[in-house]
Amino acid sequence: MPSKKKLELYIRNTTGGTIEEIQNPLNFPWEKVEMFKDESVTLTQTVKNVKDPAKVFTPFTRKFTVPTSKQNNKIFRHFYNNGISGFDSRIKIPAKLELNTSPFQDGYIKLESSGIENNRPKDYKLTFFGNTVALTQLFGEDTLRNLIWLDNFSFPYDAANIRARLENFPSDSKVVDGVTYTNVTPVTLISNEKRWFYNSASPYIQGNGNLYPQAGNIQGCYWEDLKPSFRVELIFKAIEESYPEIEFDRSADTIFNDSYFTSIFLHLSKTQGRVLNTDDNVPQTFPQIVNTFPLNPTNSSSTSSVNLATSNGSDITIAVPSNVEQNSSSFFGQTGNEIRVFIRPLTAYLNTTYSAQLLYNGTVVDSLDLVIGNQEIVPSAQQQVTNGTFRLIIAPTSLIAFDLIEFRITRGIYFPIYNLDYWRSEFQISNVTFNPNFEFNITDQVPKIKIIEFLSGIFKMFNIIAEVKFNQTNQKQTIILKDYNKFYFGDTNYINGYKTIDITQYVDAKEQDVSNTLPYNMVKYKYKGLETFFADYHNQLFGQEWGTENYRGATDGVFVGKPYTIEVPFEFQKYERIWDTALPDSQTQLQWGWTVDNDRKPIMGKPLLHKATFIDEGTLFSFMPTENSVGYIENYRIPASASVGSSAFSRSLAFFPETNEFTGAINQQTLFTEFHQRYIQGIFEQSKRLVKVTAYLPDSVLFELSLANRFVIGNNTYMINSIKTNFATGKSELELLTQDLNI
């Protein structure tokens, strides 16, 4: 007779704690939630479900109903009483499950509601989320522009820097926190506006897009038609830096050690057309991060002075100590808990126009638009914050100097003559000058896309399985990213890289159901952005979306069901290798992209991913550092959708085997063949079955279980599609997939 399994729930209410306080395990102790004696708890675990293969972040969730006992009322702070603020039900807090007193699963809990019956509190309704679900809460609505670590790689946007990043190898090099990073912001031949061509016999027209290098002819690639890109791998580093409670595992079998992933770049384009303003009716501003704040503030207090914040020069990080009293009221016109920025130009510049932005955790929270004279910024929504990071950007229209720039934080009420408690920290800069140079700030120029949407898109591209495990050593959530093949099949050859568990003796032989695994007639893999000129022309010419795989099985069969689409939120450009149009058989080593629509007008498009291939001693072409001068370049980077080489296995970013724009060979190595085919082809196999059985799995199996394991029943081996366990009865309902041995 199967034994009942005792499942216990613990939560750790970290609400209001700083990151440092939360990472200390001695703070915010775990509290046990009391359960109903007859509570029937079931838990469903699944990673890659054949019924919905596009989903990422697919761990389990589970609803609990627990009593309003004395212990639970203490934990949930009498939430049923709507007359008090009580427990914060808007957020998820850390939780863990123990099975028969042993650790089972980590995750997060959210309080959904509290039931009342006959005017008496009855229960609390909770939802338990597996760890990966919590990433959605952690990132929330934040975008890539919130990742301020990226600005370590900002640089002056001018012709010299653009040319260096186009023709040098490495394109750039920067030391950040003692680590040297190279090839971070390369420039490739992607035009944001002008049409480029190569004609050795074309009549000279100054400023046109002819790349042919003719002495004295001012034509070709104008530097402002180029924008840099950013190495995608380092965006994950920026995420770690902005959210120190998580880290990405970089073991050998993770995506961070696969050159297919590490060779891709994100084009830095926040608007259509050029970076610099071309509207004659709007003054051009030159935004620059204020980066000379003192590391430590000047402090004052009614009691003992403390640092309410620290700085690294550009970022001011708030960290209000717990012993500092908060007072948001006002007293004789003095407002408590204040954050304020003072900006005071020197007398000679009082009529010079400038703009300013104050950012909090990477998001603009207040701004000044084309103002003059002394100004103040008071971010109303951030007056009460106790942690987080502020950054100030000044954007003058011309040379300007300031007598004072001050960032001030006050806690309590500053009114010394009445002996009210207060604490104040001030960061001041005097006599600072801003030149009208355009700083290419990465967070200002990166495409606007939510962090969670960006991650989901990358995970869909590479069919990544995301696992989250708690690291007891550094108290961080470790995110392990493996593609489907490595997760389910282990070693690089995908042979016997998994663990098998024989559960024959635990299976109820009386209950079994066998069904087809194919719920759709076709699976389409595509990019959302296919609007640029060459990609759109490809669609019109061939009647096939550029880079899109329409998979109907190995035999391209006709099956019942509806189409299923897996779409990634990125732009996928088609590029053009340039020929000398005066010599039909003369092919150059130049390749370019064009970010315009079918009407040849600049467009924004979706965030563009691409490869960047360095051409050494290639075809010489004309480069214009100004509108009235020209130079010549023979070493440069070209954009590419696939690696440039003679092999057909050139690691394309397309899902479909398209023709390599540079070599003319068919790219047989695609995202689909490398990361998706093994999984989806197995689903379409005629022999594939979804087997449903009932089993009473012992604790030893549940504790050590990975969904990458295989279950053996009799002489058959199965992959795990999902497991639903009822802990009151010990009964597990298993959905198993027959092993695809021939793929």
pLDDT per residue over 231-250, tens digit each?
Answer: 999 999 999 999 888 899 99
At 648, is the pLDDT very low, low, confident or very high (cuts 50, 70, 90)?
Answer: very low
Mean pLDDT of the 9-15 span = 86
Share of the chain above pLDDT 70, in %: 88
Determine the pLDDT at residue 590.
97
Within 10 angstroms of residue 530's Cβ, the number of other Cβ atoms is 20
3-state secondary structure 225-266: HCCEEEEHHHHHHHHHHHCCCEEECCCCCCHHHCHHHHCEEE
Q: What is the mean pLDDT of the chain?
A: 86
What pLDDT does 596 receive? 96
Q: What is the structure's pLDDT at 740?
A: 62
**Exposed / middle / buried, residue 340 (Cβ in 10 Å: 0-12, 13-18, 19+):** middle
Most confident among 113-127, 624-638, 673-687 (mean pLDDT): 624-638
Task: Report whether pLDDT(328) > 80.
Answer: no
Least confident of 415-424, 618-627, 640-649: 415-424
Query: Which pLDDT score is estimated for 429?
Result: 96
Q: Determine the 3-state secondary structure of 84 from DSSP.
A: coil
Instruction: Please report the pLDDT score of residue 606 as a whole number.
Output: 96
If you average pLDDT over residues 657-673, what whole number do you get?
93
Name the more confident of 725 and 395. 395
pLDDT at res. 335: 57
The dihedral sign for the CA sequence 484, 487, 491, 496: negative
Peptide bond into 170 cis (omega under 30): yes
- pLDDT digit string, tens, across residues 443-457: 999 999 999 999 999
Mean of pLDDT values over 560-564: 78
Are the beta carbons of 658 and 641 closer than 8 angstroms? yes
pTM of the model: 0.83
pLDDT, position 741? 52
Residue 534 has pLDDT above 90, yes or no: yes
Residue 368 has pLDDT above 80, yes or no: yes
Alpha-carbon span 50 to 430, nearest angstrom: 63
Across 486-500, 575-589, 593-607, 615-629, least confident range: 486-500
Q: Which residues are within 8 A (CB) of 493 and not within 5 positions of it... i.e. 6 or more apart? A: none
What class has domain 288-437?
mainly beta
Least confident of 3-17, 233-247, 268-282: 3-17
Mean pLDDT along residues 376-401: 92
pLDDT score, position 303: 74
| Residue-level pLDDT at 139 | 86
| Range from 294-303, 452-461, 561-570 that averages highest in pLDDT | 452-461
pLDDT tier at 649 (50, 70, 90 boundaries)?
Answer: low
pLDDT at 52: 54
Q: Is 327 exposed, middle or buried (0-12, 13-18, 19+ CB in 10 A)?
A: middle
How far apart CA 724 and CA 726 sit, in angstroms, is 7
Query: In angstroms, rounded to a whole number, what is the distance separating the alpha carbons of residues 365 and 154?
Result: 21
Domain ranges of the chain: 7-138, 288-437
At 134, the pLDDT band (50, 70, 90 cuts) reads: low
Closest CA to 360 of 400, 387, 338: 387
Q: Let me know: does 124 contact 111? Beta carbons within 8 Å.
A: yes
Task: Using the predicted structure, report yes or no on whether residue 495 has a pLDDT greater than 60.
Answer: no
Chain segment 711-726, per-residue pLDDT in tens? 899 888 888 888 888 7
Backbone CA torsion sign across 659, 665, 671, 675: positive
